[in-house]
Amino acid sequence: MRKPKLVISSGAGISAESGISTFRDAGGLWENYPVMEVCSADGYRRNPKLVHEFYNARRKDMVGKEPNDAHKILAELEKDFDVYVITQNVDNLHERAGSTQILHLHGELMKIRSVVDPNYVEALDMEHLETTPDTKGENGHPMRPHIVFFQEPVPNMELAAEWVYEADIFVVIGTSLNVYPAAGLINFVREGIPIYYIDPKPAENVILPPQITVIKATATEGMRKLKEILLKNYK
């Protein structure tokens, strides 16, 4: 018998307890920078050196962080569920916790891509955490952070919507549901499919579907509660 398909949409809140700051709790600043200066196509065109330096700092910050229990419980649920993680996060904490089916909507800190060919992507490693606008790929192309900036398309959105449409259970965790198209994923859930929303301050400025169950808790507390619910009701 096939395992129930558990599809997760995670945001910055799931990494908060690992010590990685969220976006909107800091009044629109990302580590003291206006988000549009370091995470938009215009910002990158205006000052590529600043953008490279910003993501160099984010990478160095991230390598010192560990997955928390929320990431780990999600990975453990793969024993009983077919778990698909769609994340807006650019950190690699889901991977390091052991999740095996992960789709990054907004890119990945530990990757860089060709400025010329967006499909040419290279992985960075612990010895190479820094890039500059002069960094070249093995193919000689100038490289940039593999991040989806504001004002850029979200290439993985179509596949993410397919994953959500096929879900038997959908979980939203640690996102303010502020940024589209990611926030629109919830609209691809089929009629009658249960939705759980874990957040200590659930978004108030959005209309949530009637069948949603809000778990007002941090990611780690919420995932402990959700694990009990899932194993009791859906296994």
- CA end-to-end span of the chain: 11
User: In the 8-state DSSP scheme, what is residue 193?
Assistant: -
- Cβ nearer to ligand APR, comparing 34 with 98: 34
Q: How far is CA 85 from the centre of its chain?
A: 8
Please give the angle made by the CA atoms of 143, 96 and 98, to the nearest 5 degrees: 130
- Binding ligand APR by CB under 6 A: which of 8, 9, 11, 226? 11
Q: Does 151 bind ligand APR (CB under 6 A)?
A: no
Q: Does 179 bind ligand APR (CB under 6 A)?
A: yes
Q: How far is the CB of 83 from ligand APR (least distance, A)?
A: 18
Q: Is 184 an interacting residue with respect to ligand APR (CB under 6 A)?
A: no
Task: Decide: is 68 part of the binding site for ligand APR (CB under 6 A).
Answer: no
Name which position in 84, 108, 174, 195 contacts ligand APR (CB under 6 A). Answer: 174
- The reply to whether 88 sits near ligand APR by the rule CB under 6 A is yes
Residue 106, interface with ligand APR (CB under 6 A)? yes
Q: With b meaning 16 or more CB within 10 Å and e meaning fewer, what string describes 118-129?
A: eeeebebeeeeb
Nearest-approach distance from CB 22 to ligand APR, in angstroms: 3
Q: How far is CA 39 from CA 43, 107, 159, 206, in A?
A: 7, 11, 23, 24
Identify each DSSP E strand in 11-71 by its residue range. Answer: 29-30, 33-34
The one segment of 7-15, 74-82, 155-163, 164-172 that binds ligand APR by CB under 6 A: 7-15
100, burial (CB in 10 Å: exposed 0-12, middle 13-18, buried 19+): exposed
Is 106 catalytic? The answer is: yes
Judge whether 82 and 2 are in contact, CB under 8 Å: yes
Using rule CB under 6 A, residue 43 touches ligand APR = no
Residues that bind ligand APR (CB under 6 A): 11-13, 16-17, 22-25, 35, 88, 106, 174-176, 178-179, 199-201, 203, 218-219
Catalytic site positions: 106
